[in-house]
């Protein structure tokens, strides 16, 4: 249910239909009455809505949350470097297509990160284990 709500809200914000939020909440409550008390659309703002990303959003230096010993530097020329404890770990190339980041390196081969979204200075990828979050350095 949360993914449906986020998708619907993103669609409304992206199309400039913020004035329809009260009606949207009413519709959601009609479909999901058990969730009606937990849905508070008044807490939403442009800053805390998860947004899709472009390749330009990836350019920069990142810490991997939950493992701050790992940093990744994504460059505009299509190359990247990763570091472990600030020491070079691997280098390679990257591509980004429809929310999917692909890192290619000799050390690790092809690493695929899907479902990329952003929230402020964080980028989230969907993984088999849940979610991997990168925070801009």
- Assigned CATH topology for domain 55-136: Lipocalin (2.40.128)
Mean pLDDT score across all residues of the chain: 77
Q: Is 32 helix (H, G, I), strand (E, B) or coil?
A: coil
Which residues contact residue 103 at a Cβ distance below 8 angstroms, ignoring those fewer than 6 apart? Answer: 80, 92, 93, 94, 110, 111, 113
Q: Which residue has the tokens 């890192």?
A: 103
Q: Is 17 helix (H, G, I), strand (E, B) or coil?
A: coil
Q: Which residue has the tokens 């390679």?
A: 92
Q: How confident is the model at residue 127 (pLDDT cuts 50, 70, 90)?
A: confident
Q: Is 104 helix (H, G, I), strand (E, B) or coil?
A: strand
The enclosing H or E element of 3 equals helix 2-14
Checking if the pLDDT of 74 tops 70, the result is yes
Checking if the pLDDT of 3 tops 80, the result is no
The enclosing H or E element of 24 equals helix 21-31
Share of the chain above pLDDT 70, in %: 64
Q: Which residue has the higher pLDDT, 21 or 49?
A: 49
Task: Give the separation between CA 32 and CA 116, rounded to whole angstroms.
Answer: 27
> For 84-105, what is each residue's pLDDT tens digit?
999 999 999 999 998 999 999 9
Checking if the pLDDT of 51 tops 50, the result is yes
Q: How many CA atoms lie within 13 A of 51 on its CB side?
A: 16
Location of each CATH 2.40.128.280 domain in the chain: 55-136
Task: Give the separation between CA 115 and CA 98, rounded to whole angstroms.
Answer: 8
Looking at residues 70-96, what average pLDDT do you find?
Answer: 97
> What pairs with residue 105 in β-bridges?
92, 109
Give me the pLDDT at residue 52, please.
Answer: 77
């Amino acid at each position: 249910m949360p993914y449906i709500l986020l998708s619907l809200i993103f669609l409304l914000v992206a199309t400039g239909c913020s004035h329809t939020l009260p009606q949207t909440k009413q519709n959601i409550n009609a479909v999901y009455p058990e969730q009606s008390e937990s849905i508070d659309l008044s807490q939403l703002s442009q800053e805390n809505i998860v947004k899709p990303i472009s390749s330009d959003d990836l350019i920069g230096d990142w810490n991997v949350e939950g493992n701050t010993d790992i940093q990744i530097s994504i460059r505009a020329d299509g190359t990247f470097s990763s570091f472990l404890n600030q020491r070079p770990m691997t280098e390679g190339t990257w591509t980004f297509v429809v929310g999917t980041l692909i890192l290619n390196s000799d050390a690790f081969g092809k690493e695929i990160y899907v479902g990329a979204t952003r929230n402020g200075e964080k980028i989230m990828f969907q993984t088999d284990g849940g979610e991997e979050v990168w925070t801009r350095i």
